[in-house]
Chain A
Amino acid sequence: MRIFGVLFRLAWRNLWRNHRRTIIMLGAIGVGVWAMIFMTALTRGMVDQMITDSIGVLPGHVQMHHPDYQDDPSIANRISISDADLKDKFDDAGFEAWASRVRVPAIITSERESRGVTLLGVDPAAESEISFFDYEGVEGRFLDDAADKGIVIGEELADTLETEIGKRVVLMSQDPDNEIADRGFRIVGLYSASTKAVEEAYAFIGKTTAQKMLHIDDATTEVVFLGDDYRNVEPIYDAVTSAVDDSVSVRRWYEIDTYLGTMMNVMDGFVLVWVVVIFMALSFGLVNTLVMAVFERVREIGLMLALGMKPGSILGQIIIESMLLMTLGLAAGNFLAWATVTPLESGIDVSIVSEGMEMWGAASVLYPKLYASDMILASGVVLLLGFLASLSPAWRASRYEPVEAITKV
């Protein structure tokens, strides 16, 4: 243990012998680590938002449908359990929030235009904790209750249809017998969402109104459950599956929207790849620094070996030196990242490129997100790879022949 103290002191002093070189190297590592973490935080924030947005819009963390609904989301594939039974089953089951909906494709028509939309028959009371947009933010008003006879559509859709609050539109869909089910609705509210695609996609009406219009009595097509974290949905999934039988299919959000599920996995992989790529660039500088440090000190190393220091200690000394360099660089980089991300966490406005962002479903304000796990991952990878990179110069130093080394000019 004593030898370690000595080696540590030697390494520390050696590090500052050529302090200019060390500081430059520290700068390089610091900036590299900062780039790793900052970029990660940025993309993390983007993906996180995409996922929470999308989960808010569609799924709920766990969803229940008719087994064929995923392939054919029509009214024919509705859930066999009546709404009242669902209420009995789930009301006291301790979910963060749950709601049953009527969700079918429909056509919305104004005097001048018509568009395909997803019709959502919802119960506002149950929905308030789930849905993606903020009910207070609705221009006009949101639905009052499940029997509300109004309709709430997105601002973008209202523009396309050339209509506005207070005007009537017609919703057309199909009932279970394939007969046309349609009804006029007065627009009572316009919602705004983070992307225009969402604003065009959904039309909200009262659940019981929808059931009446589609002639489906007390049936629904979708039940959604919300937990507190989208990364951990197993407990809800288990609770739901144990409460129902095979007549319905229960799925986690990443099974329903596989794009999002993949996105999340890809993101985790991406962080690692990104960190490694940056380290590759860094490692050249690191190895070079170490090789130089060793090269300058050949005679000195030979002397230490001649005085009886074990080759293992030489090896350790060089590695400790490299690790010290890494640790200092990491500390600087992490601090830098934290110091730059934190003020930006309230959002970066990138609305200049918002159209491009929307094409892949991201909003026009970025909220970078600093995860401790990402910082630890980046630091861990850098330390590990730094250790591996410094093995070679250290090994070479420890293998010098003392006599040759001392006499080396």
Chain B
Amino acid sequence: MSMRSFFLLILLAISAPGSAEERDAKTIVRDAIDHWRGISSYTEMAMIIHRPDWERSMTMRAWTKGDDHSLVRVIEPKKDRGNGTLTDDNSMWSYSPKINRVIKIPSSMMGQSWLGSDFSNKDVARADEIIDDYEHKLLGTEEADGIVVYEIEAIPHEDAAVVWGSEVLRIREDHVVLEHSFFDQDGELVKSLQTMEITDMGGRTIAKRQRMNKADKPDEWTEIQVINVDYDVELKDSLFTLSNLRNPRD
């Protein structure tokens, strides 16, 4: 062993614990997202928006490909049929058959609610910013039902376009996200996405029901239920285009 590689080894040994853990935490998050989405996916799902005095549900189809592309189309109820949302990287377009127009969601509307739910347009358009824009830290591991659960704290970078003080994810070792909580900069819980039901579907173990809930309004929530999912399906790039958003050819 040369002198040089020896130093390198020492250097690695010293720096290893911190960076390894950081890499670990990041990898866990990354894996969870990949697991949920696959290289490509086709999902049929229901979205239930619950308010104290009313509740409504929609069913929709969603296609995703890679990190950037996704297309969501509403199937039911009938009056919303055909409403679609296309995302490409950080941009987002919506189409409504009633006005027969494709609208690019401007930055000013990214914080607004998506299809009237508790998800914001931003939540939909940028699911994977949680990887690049944050520092991740493994807070701890626990065991539930014989499965290891990692608790990971993600703190946004100083200049990241994220308002949260921190986000805490609880991820099972089989990559199922149990909980994703958003805290403000005083460390107070603002909203959280909780997995209500886990199941095997499309050859994977995934969260079947997930519920988004604002901390200060416990009786208002939005639930996403996966009805059917196929992973790693063959999807053409032409699926994720504005013309397909307007004139569905699936």
Contacts and interface: CB of A to CB of B under 8 A. Distances in A.
A105 B108 CA distance: 9
The majority secondary structure among interface residues of chain A is strand
B185 A180 contact: no
Contacts of B163: 109-111, 168-170, 184
Interface stretch (A171-179, A267-275, A340-348): A171-179
Interface string B158-195: 11111111000000000000000010110000100000
Interface string A180-199: 11111110000000000000
A184 B190 contact: no
B153 to A, nearest CB: 16
Interface string A105-118: 11101111010100
Nearest to A186: B158
B104 A111 contact: no
Contacts of B185: 111, 163, 167-168
A106 B109 CA distance: 11
B90 interface: yes
B244 to A, nearest CB: 20
A1 B209 CA distance: 109
A170 B162 contact: yes
B106 interface: yes
B92 to A, nearest CB: 9
A149 interface: yes
B107 A182 contact: yes
A173 B109 CA distance: 10
A184 B165 contact: no
Nearest to A180: B107
Given A167-B185, A168-B185, A172-B110, A184 B159 contact: yes
A107 B107 CA distance: 8
Contacts of B157: 184
A112 B107 contact: no
A174 B110 CA distance: 12
A185 B160 CA distance: 8
Contacts of B91: 179-180
A216 to B, nearest CB: 15
Contacts of A171: 161
B156 interface: yes
A182 B108 CA distance: 11
A112 B161 contact: no
A105 B107 CA distance: 11
B111 interface: yes
Given A111-B190, A167-B185, A183 B159 contact: yes
A69 to B, nearest CB: 18
Contact of A149 (B108, B156, B159): B159
Given A111-B184, A112-B190, A172 B161 contact: yes
Contact of B164 (A111, A173, A182): A111
A173 to B, nearest CB: 6
Contacts of A173: 107
Q: In which size bucket is the chain A interface?
A: 20 to 34
B162 A172 contact: no
Contacts of A174: 106-107
B107 A181 contact: yes
Interface in A255-290: none
A174 B91 CA distance: 11
Contacts of B158: 149, 168, 184, 186
Contacts of A179: 90-91
A170 B161 contact: yes
Contacts of B106: 174
Nearest to B111: A114
Contact of B108 (A112, A116, A170, A183): A116
Contacts of B156: 168, 184
Given A111-B185, A112-B190, A168-B185, A184 B107 contact: no
Contact of B104 (A109, A114, A178, A182): A178
B14 to A, nearest CB: 31
B195 to A, nearest CB: 23
Contacts of A109: 111, 163
A172 B184 contact: no
Contacts of B162: 170, 184
Given A184-B157, A184-B158, A172 B165 contact: no
A160 B15 CA distance: 44
A172 B108 contact: yes
- Pick the most buried of A169, A179, A181, A182: most chain B CB atoms within 10 A of its CB: A182
A167 to B, nearest CB: 5
Nearest to B92: A180
Contacts of B111: 107, 109, 114, 172
A109 B110 CA distance: 10
Contact of B184 (A107, A112, A180): A112
B112 to A, nearest CB: 8
Contacts of B159: 149, 183-185
A109 B107 CA distance: 11
Nearest to B89: A179
A365 B161 CA distance: 39
- Pick the most buried of B106, B157, B163, B164: most chain A CB atoms within 10 A of its CB: B163
A184 B184 contact: no
A166 to B, nearest CB: 8
A186 B159 CA distance: 8
Interface string B106-124: 1110110000000000000
Interface of B: 90-91, 104, 106-108, 110-111, 156-165, 182, 184-185, 190
Given A107-B110, A170-B161, A173-B107, 5 more contacts: A107-B108, A107-B111, A111-B190, A168-B163, A184-B156
7 contacts: A111-B182, A163-B185, A172-B161, A174-B107, A181-B107, A184-B156, A184-B160
> Which 8 A-B residue pairs are closest in the complex by CB-CB distance?
A182-B161, A111-B184, A172-B107, A180-B107, A167-B185, A114-B111, A170-B161, A107-B108
